[in-house]
Each structure stands twice: as C-alpha cells, then as structure tokens.
Chain A
Amino acid sequence: MTTAARLNKYRSIANRSLQNVMAYRNSYIINLLANSINLVAIFFLWQGIYGGREAVGGYSWDQMKTYLLVTFLANSVLSWYSETAISGKILDGSVAMDLLKPIDFQTARFAETLGASLLEGAMSTVLLIVFATFLTGVTFPHSPIVYLLFAVSLLCAVVVKFGVVYLAALLCFWSTGSLGIVWTRIALTNLLSGALVPLAFFPDWLEKLALLLPFQAIIHTPTMIFLQQADTWESLRLIGIQLFWGAGLWMAGKAMWNWAVRQVTIHGG
C-alpha cells in the first residue's frame, strides 16, 4: 500500500468527522455559549483578584487577560465531543466495528479528533476575536514569527492532549463507566496544564513537578509563546518538549492498545 493511499484513508475519516460535528452544530453552539459564560465568569473573578494590585505571581492584569483568552482557545480546540467519543466507543462496544476495518484504531481516532478540532478551533477563534475587541489592554504580539510558533505549538498541544485523552479512554476497557475516568483526567489536566491558574502561581515544588509532566504542553507552552515569555529559541525548545511528549504518549497509547485488545472482552453481543 502506498503512503498516499494510506494517508487518503485517514484524511477521509477526518473529513467525515468534520461533517459529523457540523451536524451537531446546535449542541456545539450551546456548548460554546456555556464556555463563553464560563470565560466571562473567570474573567470577573480574576478582575476581582487583581483589584488594586499591579501584578499577581508576575502576571500583570493585561497579561492575565491574554492568558485567559489563549487558555480558552487551547482548551476548546479539543472539546468535549472528542474527549468523550473514544471512551464511548469502548464502553458501548462499537469499538468492534472499528476493529473490523483495515485501519489503525489510534490513527483513525486521531484523524477524527483533528477533523473535529478544525471546526472547534475555527469557532473559538471567531469568538475570541469578538471578546478581544471588547476588552482593552489585551497584549497581542507584533512579530509574525510568534504567531507561527504559536500555531505550531497549538497543533502540538492537540497531539499531546489527544495522547492523554486516548490513554485515559483505553482505561475504559477495564471499567464499566467512563465518568470517573473522564472527570479525573479533566481535573488533572486542568490543574497541571495551567488551565486553572498559571503554573507560576504554584508553590515551587508543584510548579517543578508540573513542568516535568506532559500536561504543561497543553496550555502552559502555547501561552508562554503567545505572551512572549519565551524568546524564539526558547519557544523552539518548548515545542521540542511538546513533540517529545506527543511522540511518547503516542507510543504509550499504541503499547497499551496492543495489550488491551488482547486482555479484554469487547462489551456487548
């Protein structure tokens, strides 16, 4: 099989996945609305915290506003749909239908995730631009290189987040419910990626620990690049670390999958 033909399979899957999320546009819009309300709430919370202060944990209020917006974008690129689709497949047993196809399960799921991310990312970007025009003081970088690096790191963040989501989803082979696993994963990811508060706010030991884990590649890295807290070389180094985690988690996912399908029964008749 030629590489082109192989790629074509997965491109086609990504395409159908994109069509599929479009079919869910109403629920997606409602979801986006919920996220926006959440963003507004967090915005006012931080505004309260900054009341009368110049800076918190080294972040000025203007930087914090930018941080919140970038976090919102990075978080919504891979949304609830993608986060639950894989564990859902395993829990309801429809994974059996995927195993009947001459496709690699992991690559197919990644293609699906990318397809869905395309729409989700685009919608969030639009929403973000709307927000940014109403806010004053959001600091946008001037150099096009920063935008390029940011785009690359955002893509890498998707790869890392997919790795985490995929590994957690495979745990569903051993459990009969996904909610506990999903919530644990979300809590861990939000805390250790910097989605809740910037890692700089953590006590020293926790910050150090967080920087050693893959989660920081999901939010911390893109925000560092966008806020220009890392120069070009440092940004490239951070992207390198993202790639390291992306590849590492991918291989871990592959190994776990190979082991899981040997071990377990597929639910349902």
Chain B
Amino acid sequence: MSMIEARGLSKSFMQAVKEPGLKGAVKHLFLPRHIEKVAVKPLDLRIEAGETVAYVGPNGAGKSTTIKMLTGILMPSSGSISVNGINPYRKRMENAAQIGAVFGQRTQLWWDIPIAESFSLLKDIYQIPDALYRKNMDLFTEMLGMSEFIHLSARKLSLGQRMRADLAAALLHNPPILYLDEPTIGLDVSVKEKIRGFIKQINQEQQTTVMLTTHDLGDIEDLCKRLVIIDHGAIIYDGTLSEVKARFAKNRVIFFQVRSPMPELYALLEHSPGLKLEQQSSQEFSVTFDRYEYTASEVVSRVMKHGEVLDFRMEDTHIEQVIKAVYDGHLDLNEHRGARGQAHHDDSSPA
C-alpha cells in the first residue's frame, strides 16, 4: 500500500456573497447568501514510502487545503485518505504522532522561552526515548548549525534560524512522513542550501516520505524527482520533473559572440521556421530553437559558415519558465496527458 493515498479527495467551503455598497451589506445582514466554493476538486494522489514529491501551483490553487486535509486538521468534503494506513481526520492524534510538518509561515516554537525548552517539550509530547532524543539533537544541531542560537527564544531568532529550528522540531521524533509547506520562503541562499541538504539527507538515511509545497523552483530541482502541479483545485500534471523538462522545456537558446556582423545569416534565419533570432548588439545575438527539430551542432555549424565565432554558450529552458507558462494559462498540460511518457521514446516529434 502507498504511504499516502487519497481517493476522490475534495473540499468545498461556503463563501458569503455580498452585493456591493451599503445596501448589499444591510441585505446580507438580514438575508445572508452563500455560495459553495470548491477549493479542491475530487483528486487522486498516491505517494510511495521514501518518495520526495513537490506539490506546486499558483496561490489559491488548493495546495494548502490539500496539505491540511492530509495532515488531519481539515475535514474533507468527500473522498478518503489513508496516511500510513491511518485516516488522518478520524484519528488525528495517531496520525499526528507519525508525521512531522513545517508550515513556513508559522512556527511551532514557543515564542518567549529558549528553543531548547521547546525541543525538550516535544520529547515529552512525542515520548521520544532519551537515547534517540540525544542522538537527534546532536545530529540536527550540527547539521543545521543550531548551537549558536539554541539558547535563545524564538522571538529573538532570525527567519533563517527560526526555520532551521522548526525543521529540527518537526523531525525530532523520526516521523516516517514529513510535510513541508513553503519551507524556504524568504530565506537567503546559504540557509536554503543548508535546509535542502538536511532534508535530502534525512530522506536518504531514514526513507522519510517528503511532500513539499513551494514557489521556489530550486527546492524542486534539488529535492524532488516527482512533480505534482495543481491549478484551480485540480491536479493538472503528475509525473517526473525530467519528463516535464523533456516535453515542455523544448526550447534551447544559444548565445553567440562574433567578430563581425553577419547580415546574410540574419536574413537567412528570418526565413527559417523553428529558428528565432534575437540581436543583442552588432556582434552579439542569440538563436532560439526547438531541440526536437534541430540539434545544437546544426545551429552552431550553420552560424560558423557565415563568419568567425568568438564565443558561444547554450541555455536550456528552466523549469521556472514551464511552470510559469502553466500558471499563466499559456500551456495546457492536460492536452498532453494522453501522450504522457511518449516523449522519452519519441524525441523527434514535438509534444
């Protein structure tokens, strides 16, 4: 059985409808009208033990609502959930004992007492054996560099310190499942790296199942092999990150620096379908091409026929751009759902 299994899971809220102006407000006072707002449409999700899954989508897509249902703090409107064999809503306490969670916007640390005290309270709450507690504290303190601030209260910590402490707090009891809701929000690069390295190591050493929501694509690229994209309450993509890249990040760009301008090349490129020229200056330009139509060497050799190339570098489309296209509604991943997986075998046909 899967570690996390959701079937037909959905959530709707009642939302007050108010007509504009004072008249509307008065009317609502006496005759309140509500409409049902669907936050999450019935969705199926299976996550296997030891997987790291990125759960992404624009703000308001239903990410947090899903996580809240999976962690047992929100009752689903319909559908069933099983987390390690436990229904998180019916058995909230049992489920809480086997999960760790970090909500980037909130802290579970006590605000005004040293965080070491918050940790030792968790030892009692989760009934962590002495030996394991000491082992984990030593390990986490070292890996996350907490020794310099473990005696301070949460109020006095910087955001990066607080997030590291929260992450340690979520993992002290060695939970088999870890939920992370925007764990790197607002952090600097070095703290981000520390946190990602830590999550990676915990996942590898303890086979912890990790489900992560983020807007930071670095998190996804560093940590997650699998990507689930949700938009308007429905899952619109579920597959590997490399597959998304292979199928949707089909454009490549080569930047050239040349000795002298090449007017005849420019004219030629204007009329070549599948190639796009952008001039930066008289001696610098870039060519964007579809990697399934042209190879990089074809493009480079074509340019070199027309003159001397001083330098060139190539860039792949970043996953950022793909996901942004989905968010903006320019790219409909659903269209391609039927063809899922074919990109691996059939590289010549553009998806």
Residue ranges of A at the interface with B (Cβ–Cβ < 8 Å): 1, 5, 8-9, 11-13, 15-16, 19-20, 23-24, 93-94, 96-97, 99-104, 261-262, 265-266, 268-269
Contact = CB atoms under 8 A, between A and B. Distances in A.
Nearest to A266: B73
Contact of B93 (A12, A103, A268): A103
Interface string B300-327: 0000000000000000000000000000
Nearest to B11: A265
Interface in B11-61: 13
Nearest to A100: B101
A115 to B, nearest CB: 11
Given A265-B74, A266-B74, A12 B121 contact: yes
Nearest to B93: A102
Contact of B125 (A99, A103, A265): A103
A267 to B, nearest CB: 11
A200 to B, nearest CB: 42
Contacts of A265: 13, 74
Tell me if A's interface is mostly helix, strand, loop or mixed: helix
Contact of A102 (B73, B107, B117, B126): B126
Contacts of A19: 113, 117
Contacts of A101: 96, 108, 125
A102 B94 contact: yes
A13 B121 contact: yes
A134 B197 CA distance: 65
A20 B112 contact: yes
Interface in B82-115: 92-94, 96-97, 99, 101, 103, 105-108, 110-113
Contacts of B96: 99-103
Contact of B124 (A9, A93, A104, A266): A9
A100 B67 CA distance: 12
B118 interface: yes
Contact of A97 (B13, B92, B108, B126): B108
Given A102-B96, A265-B74, A93 B106 contact: yes
B72 interface: yes
Given A5-B127, A96-B103, A269-B105, A16 B153 contact: no
B75 interface: yes
A49 to B, nearest CB: 42
B236 to A, nearest CB: 21
A177 to B, nearest CB: 16
B71 interface: yes
B1 to A, nearest CB: 22
18 contacts: A12-B124, A13-B121, A16-B110, A16-B117, A20-B110, A20-B112, A23-B113, A23-B153, A99-B72, A99-B73, A100-B72, A102-B93, A102-B126, A103-B93, A103-B96, A103-B125, A104-B93, A262-B75
Contact of A94 (B13, B68, B106, B118): B106
Nearest to B100: A100
B124 A268 contact: no
**Chain B CB within 10 Å, residue with most, of A1, A94, A268, A269:** A269
B257 interface: no
B121 A24 contact: no
Given A93-B106, A99-B71, 20 more contacts: A8-B127, A9-B127, A11-B124, A16-B110, A16-B117, A16-B121, A19-B117, A20-B111, A20-B113, A23-B113, A23-B153, A99-B72, A99-B92, A99-B96, A100-B108, A102-B94, A102-B126, A261-B75, A266-B68, A266-B74
Contacts of B107: 97
A183 B111 CA distance: 26
A266 B69 CA distance: 12
Nearest to A92: B106
Listed residue (B93, B94, B107) with the most chain A CB atoms within 10 angstroms of its CB: B93
A24 B125 CA distance: 24
A103 B125 CA distance: 7
Given A102-B97, A266-B74, A97 B121 contact: no
A96 B73 contact: yes
B64 interface: yes
B124 A8 contact: yes
Nearest to B99: A100
Interface in B152-174: 153
A100 B113 contact: no
A5 B64 CA distance: 33
A261 B117 CA distance: 29
Please list the 4 inter-chain residue pairs (A to B) with the smallest Cβ-Cβ separation, ordered nearest first.
A23-B112, A12-B124, A99-B73, A102-B97
Nearest to A262: B75
A88 B138 CA distance: 34
A24 B94 contact: no
A4 to B, nearest CB: 11
Contacts of B126: 102
Contacts of A15: 121
A100 B74 CA distance: 11
A103 B121 CA distance: 12
A170 to B, nearest CB: 16
